[in-house]
């Protein structure tokens, strides 16, 4: 089924569309088969959230945008699912915040790395990091430890979309400010993050770009957005929304 064959009037249009994109990502070598499982798990949480951006997630996205704007060296980390679902949106967010894009994979092969980098370039990226892999994240014993020394390895702020618990913990140990998009408020990623955004990545990334456009050039507003955000309260609000949502 192509995107054209999914009518926008279908009540599960967005869900079917994202599933199709993940399937297409596997066919093109961008997404791993494990990405299907991750997509399904996230979709279940999104369903419980009412498939909407709750107020605390919106505040988190605004705080995240502010962190990116105030960073000395911000990097947006991209895995297979992110590259498949929001490639152009990640490029737009990078442009809006002067951040770099870096591919980082658990199931890493040279072919997948190149395929994702090419895919991002096709969506407007001019530079994509991650291929050099001349640095490492201390404390990790798998492929996600490999980073560019002048990318994630040197970043003070990193956006980590989608679940990535062990790397989130390792980056926190490095003193990196972590911005995490994760639909599970109880995951290690969300619990570790400086700013946990409990939202679907297809909504969260464009929203961050909008917030960045509004906040750009206004350091006082950026700082206010950061100071107004309480990560523990945001996680509690997300958990409450999931547990008490009207389905």
Length of the chain counted residue by residue: 247
> What b/e string do you get for 83-105 counting C-beta neighbours within 10 Å, with b at 16 or more?
bbbbbebbbbbbebbebbbbbbb
Mean of the per-residue pLDDT values for the chain?
90
- Please tell me the predicted confidence (pLDDT) of residue 203: 96
- Please tell me the predicted confidence (pLDDT) of residue 1: 38
Q: How many CB atoms are located within 10 Å of the residue 15 CB?
A: 17
Distance in angstroms (rounded) separating the CA atoms of residues 157 and 39: 25
Structure tokens at 164: 């990535």
| Low-confidence stretches of the chain (pLDDT beneath 70) | 1-4, 6-13, 163, 246-247
- Please tell me the predicted confidence (pLDDT) of residue 170: 87
- Please tell me the predicted confidence (pLDDT) of residue 246: 63
Terminal-residue alpha carbon distance, the chain: 28
Distance in angstroms (rounded) separating the CA atoms of residues 138 and 157: 17
Pick the CATH number of 55-244 from 3.40.50.12640, 2.40.50.110, 3.20.20.240, 1.20.200.10: 3.40.50.12640
- Please tell me the predicted confidence (pLDDT) of residue 167: 81
- Please tell me the predicted confidence (pLDDT) of residue 12: 66
């Amino acid at each position: 089924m192509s995107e054209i064959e999914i009518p926008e009037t279908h009540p599960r249009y967005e869900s079917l569309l994202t599933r199709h994109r993940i399937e297409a990502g596997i066919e093109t070598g961008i997404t791993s088969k494990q990405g299907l499982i991750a997509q399904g798990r996230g979709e279940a949480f999104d369903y419980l959230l009412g498939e909407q951006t709750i107020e605390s997630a919106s505040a988190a996205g605004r705080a995240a945008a502010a962190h990116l704007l105030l960073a000395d060296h911000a990097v947006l980390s991209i895995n297979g699912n992110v590259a498949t679902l929001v490639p152009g949106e990640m490029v737009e967010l990078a442009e809006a915040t002067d951040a770099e894009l870096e591919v980082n994979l658990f199931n890493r092969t040279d072919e997948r790395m190149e395929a994702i980098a090419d895919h991002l370039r096709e969506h407007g990226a001019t530079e994509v990091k991650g291929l050099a892999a001349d640095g490492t994240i201390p404390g990790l014993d798998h492929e996600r430890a490999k980073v560019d020394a002048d990318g994630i390895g040197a970043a003070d702020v990193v956006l980590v979309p989608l679940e990535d618990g062990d790397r989130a913990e390792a980056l926190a140990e490095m003193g990196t400010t972590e911005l995490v998009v994760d639909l599970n408020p109880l995951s290690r990623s969300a619990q570790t993050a400086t700013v946990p955004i409990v939202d679907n990545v297809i909504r969260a990334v464009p929203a961050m770009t909008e917030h960045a456009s509004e906040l750009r050039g206004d350091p006082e507003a950026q700082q206010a957005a950061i100071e107004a955000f309480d990560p523990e309260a945001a996680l509690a609000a997300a958990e409450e929304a999931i547990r008490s949502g009207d389905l």
